[in-house]
Amino acid sequence: MHDAIQLVNVRNSNLVFVQPGAKINTVYYCDSVLEQGLLPDICRLSYNNFSFQRDGAPTLAHRTRHTVAYLRSHVPEFIELDN
């Protein structure tokens, strides 16, 4: 996964581990990586004042319609790539 995340206070954020052998599909990405992993820390550390920008990595899991819809409804500002 190549999503770049910049957290102001990294000491207070948790690492997100992907289960060995896990298939990183859109459901796993949204439910495990974002919902249970990254977003709680990002929201807490930014006081829910942040922008989420995709980086264009070639993995399909974070480019699907499901993931885009999830991000639009779960982050304060979602910046899409111009493909």
CA angle, corner 10, sides to 49 and 61, nearest 5? 70
- Both tokens assigned to 14: 């948790």
**Of 78 and 3, more confident:** 78
| 37 pLDDT more than 50 | yes
Q: Residue 8: what residue type?
A: V
| 83 pLDDT more than 70 | no
What is the pLDDT confidence band of residue 74, given thresholds at 50, 70 and 90?
A: very high
Calculate the average pLDDT of the chain. 79
What is the pLDDT confidence band of residue 40, given thresholds at 50, 70 and 90?
A: very high
Residue 12: which residues within 8 A CB-CB, separation 6 or more?
41, 44, 45
pLDDT tens per residue across span 53-67: 876 666 677 778 898
